[in-house]
Amino acid sequence: MQLAATDYAIFLQNEASPLATSVISSRCREALVEEFNYMYMIDNVILIITGTLHERDTSDLLDKCHPLGWFDAMPALTVATNVQELYNTVLVDSPIAPYFRECLSAEDLNEINIEIIRNTLYRTYLEDFYKFCNTELNPTTAEIMTKLLKYEADSRTISITINSFGTELTKDERKRLYPMLGDLYPDAQDKLSKTDELDQVKLILEMYPDYKNLLGSNMSISRGEMSFEELCFELEVRLNKESFEQQFHFGIFYSWLRLKEQEIRNIVWIAECISQRNKDKINNYIPIY
């Protein structure tokens, strides 16, 4: 009823009641695909790689792929019966082939390395995108996108750091996963690569006003304590909203997409709270406006 007056209404109007949260999530993603079509190829390819490693029927994984990351040759990836075949297919037919060719070999495609692969691909992609924005686009767009991509690089750097504690990932391997851009690059990245515990990370981030509260006990009066991921989403929303304060640039399309993604996460969160009869937490979403 509440979504009837929004852009999502047409995508839900033919669904039978009662609506399931999964249906709302799926239809909201379809709405996004109708308006914007790209990205997410890395996550989709990683999903298929994981399925191949586990010897699953990879054709079933196509249904789980994000629609925005779809490309014409994706069904061909599911034909591979082993990692070597999949690697060769990705290198030849996938739009992200340059990233695979630059930083990975077939031997890297194993269960232990799967998250390393994901972060390596994203690192290379971010660096490439950052270079494109600063060499091919107008100055205003470059300024906006530089700020957004630096934040994305920094948040990934922090996440990689804290998620590597207690794992087999060496400190040198950790450092190689950091994107070579952002406010944390290179000095803070060098320090973060040598940390062993969360308090050391917090101490390093104290020098960065935007990031110093991401790992603290930041409290929101109406919503209670927030996780690292939620605080990152909140900061990302603020930065993307600022894109709309400038004129005559293309960064607004990137920011629109990111804010649209958060809008969908908010809708799914509210639907989950209603479905699980947990309305006390229904306001724990990231407000946009």
- Residue 288 forms part of a structural domain: no
Query: In this predicted model, what pLDDT tens digit does every residue of 234-275 receive, in sequence order?
Result: 999 999 999 999 999 999 999 999 999 999 999 999 999 999
The region, left, alpha or beta by phi > 0 then psi within -120 to 50, assigned to residue 190 is alpha
* 54 part of a folded domain: yes
How far, rounded to the nearest angstrom, does the alpha carbon of residue 86 sit from its chain's CA centroid? 24
- What is the total residue count of the chain? 289
The string of pLDDT tens digits covering residues 65-94 is 888 788 888 888 888 777 778 778 776 777
Listed range (11-15, 81-85, 145-149, 203-207) with the worst mean pLDDT: 81-85
103 shares its domain with 229:
no
Output the pLDDT for position 91: 67
Range of the domain at 120: 2-38+115-281
Contact 118, 46 (CB under 8 A): yes
**pLDDT the model gives residue 148:** 97
Task: Extract the tokens encoding 36.
Answer: 């914007």
The Cα-based distances of 274 to 23, 224, 260, 265 in angstroms read 14, 19, 21, 14
**Residue 159 pLDDT level (bands cut at 50, 70, 90):** very high
Q: What is the mean pLDDT of residues 199-211?
A: 94
What is the rounded CA–CA span in Å between residue 215 and residue 229?
10
Domain assignment present for residue 243? The answer is yes
Interval 2-18: pLDDT, tens: 888 887 888 888 888 88
Q: What is the mean pLDDT of the chain?
A: 86
The answer to whether residue 289 sits within a structural domain is: no
Where is the domain boundary, 109, 126, 155? 109
Q: Which of 59, 84, 109 is the last residue of a domain?
A: 109
Q: Which two tokens stand for residue 93?
A: 């037919």
Same domain, yes or no: 32 and 161: yes
pLDDT at 185 over 80: yes
pLDDT tens-digit readout, 226-242: 789 999 999 999 999 99
**CA gap 158, 201 in Å, rounded:** 8
Residue recorded with tokens 């920011």: 255
For residue 132, tell me if it sits in a domain.
yes
In a domain, 55, yes or no: yes
Among 94, 109, 124, the domain-final residue is: 109
Query: Is 275 found in the same domain as 165?
Result: yes
Q: How many domains does the chain have?
A: 2
Distance CA 286, CA 289 (A): 9
Going by pLDDT thresholds of 50, 70 and 90, the confidence category of residue 115 is confident
Same domain, 16 and 105: no
Q: Is pTM beyond 0.85 here?
A: no
> Are 228 and 123 contained in the same domain?
yes
- Indicate whether 23 and 58 sit together in one domain: no
Answer yes or no: is 87 within a domain: yes
Domain identity same for 122 and 25: yes
